[in-house]
Amino acid sequence: MRYTPVSKIGERPLISLISNIFRELPDGIILGAGPDDCAVIDIKESSYLVVTTDMLHRMTDFPWQMSPWQIGWMSAAVNLSDIAAMGARPLGVLAAIGLPIDTDVAFAEEIARGMRDCAREYDTAIIGGDIDTHDELTICGTALGTVPKEQLLTRKGAHVGDKVCVTGYAGAAGAALYALENDINAPDSVLKALLEPTPRINEAMKLASMGHVTSMMDTSDGIAMSLYDLSKSSEVGFRLQEKMLPLQPEVEELMSFNRENLYSMALYTGGDFELIFTVRPEGIEDVLKLGNISMIGEVVHQEKSISIQKSDGTVLQVERKGYEQLKIADNT
């Protein structure tokens, strides 16, 4: 077979190829590799087990300014974020850690404390893991959760006319990374989005129990990429309103020299680990009452694709781009 570097195709096409190899599932596996943020397993009469894994590395995930405690926190948080995406309650987290042999013992302990504190914050715990020697600090987390069957939320289920909502702010983690990489002073409130992401477990469980949400996922790779994933799974399109994107005031100030950049950060940079979800129109009022949730647009027919209306009324296509692993080379 002809040699094709993985960087030529990128993360998502590779996931499709791999998931296709794993597509045959035994009874009891409701969702396997590929279609959603977690696998879903039928374990008992009333609830599903959801499981996810996510690998993080020194070079690509932990900015040098990140403390070892924050490294641990983030490693648990990104996995719990995928549990939240299903509307589930966390059951436990495992952490496989690859360490360079010259790592300070105190540094490793701080990583563990960060993981513990994040798990504790969401009423769960680190219940196992593994330690290996590795050239680059690498942490591969696995999180488990449970969800009442009727409350499971997946990427499939959005209907035309539903409202699109997100938790928290959009683009804060991207702005923080931009500030760190360009030696720009950013307030702690902005840096925290990148260095200490908050998995939206509590919001997700409330949303799942209300029954108004029709589809959900997390925004780890950015709002745009997430909408393309929801679009594929639910067979719908989306129309966003630029003025409704929830921008953190400190981020607006930080990026005030370039407002276009601000909006593209909100859509394309990723790393926010917020939830994006669709809500039946009759439920939107109740959902917005939960707080820290913004309505950013509406579900439209799939043929209408994914677009955004700017403040001046013009409508632009939202590009299919976001944070993507493997893509280091030009892969046009």
Ligand X SMILES: Nc1ncnc2c1ncn2[C@@H]1O[C@H](COP(=O)(O)OP(=O)(O)OP(=O)(O)O)[C@@H](O)[C@H]1O
Q: Report how far residue 272's alpha carbon sits from residue 233's, in angstroms, rounded to the nearest whole number.
A: 22
To the question of whether residue 135 is assigned a binding role by annotation, the answer is no
Least Å from the CB of residue 221 to Mg ion? 8
131 binds ligand X (CB under 6 A): no
Near ligand TPS in 171-190, by CB under 6 A: 177
Contact between 276 and 200 (Cβ < 8 Å): no
Is residue 18 near ligand X by the rule CB under 6 A? Answer: yes
Burial class of residue 332 (count of CB atoms within 10 Å of its CB; 0-12, 13-18, 19+) = exposed
**74 or 144: whose CB is closer to ligand TPS?**
74
Residues 120-159, one symbol each (x = binds ligand TPS by CB under 6 A, - = not), give ----------------------------------------
Among 5, 17, 19, 329, binds ligand X (CB under 6 A): 19
Task: Provide the minimum distance between the beta carbon of 83 and ligand TPS in the complex, in angstroms, as a whole number.
Answer: 13
In sequence order, what are the residues at sequence separation of 6 or more whose Cβ sits closer than 8 angstroms to the Cβ of residue 248?
169, 171, 172, 175, 189, 190, 193
Vertex 169: Cα angle to 166 and 173 (nearest 5):
120
Which residues of the shown chain bind Mg ion in the complex (CB under 5 A)? 37, 82, 218, 220
Residue with smaller CB distance to ligand TPS, 265 or 308: 265
Helix ranges restricted to H, 248-314: 249-254, 259-268, 284-289
Reading phi first (left if > 0) and then psi (alpha if -120 to 50, else beta), residue 176 is in alpha
Q: State which of residues 75, 151, 154, 220 lies at the interface with ligand X (CB under 6 A).
A: 220
**Element of type H or E holding 280:** none
The string of DSSP letters for 62-116 reads S-TT--HHHHHHHHHHHHHHHHHHTTPEEEEEEEEEEE-TT--HHHHHHHHHHHH
Among 17, 22, 128, 311, binds ligand X (CB under 6 A): 22
Q: Does 272 bind ligand X (CB under 6 A)?
A: no
Closest among 214, 204, 211 to 235, alpha carbons compared? 214
Alpha carbons 6 and 42: distance in angstroms, whole number: 34
When binding is defined by CB under 6 A, the residue of 251, 271, 277, 279 that contacts ligand TPS is 271
Shortest Cβ distance from residue 261 to ligand X (Å)? Answer: 23
Q: For residue 306, what are the β-bridge partners? A: 238
| Contact map string, positions 203 to 232, toward ligand TPS, x by CB under 6 A | -----------------xx-----------
Single out the segment in contact with ligand TPS by CB under 6 A; choices: 57-65, 116-124, 255-263, 301-309.
57-65
Residues that bind ligand X (CB under 6 A): 15, 18-19, 22, 33-34, 36-37, 54, 82, 218, 220-221
Binding positions for ATP: 129-130, 155, 220
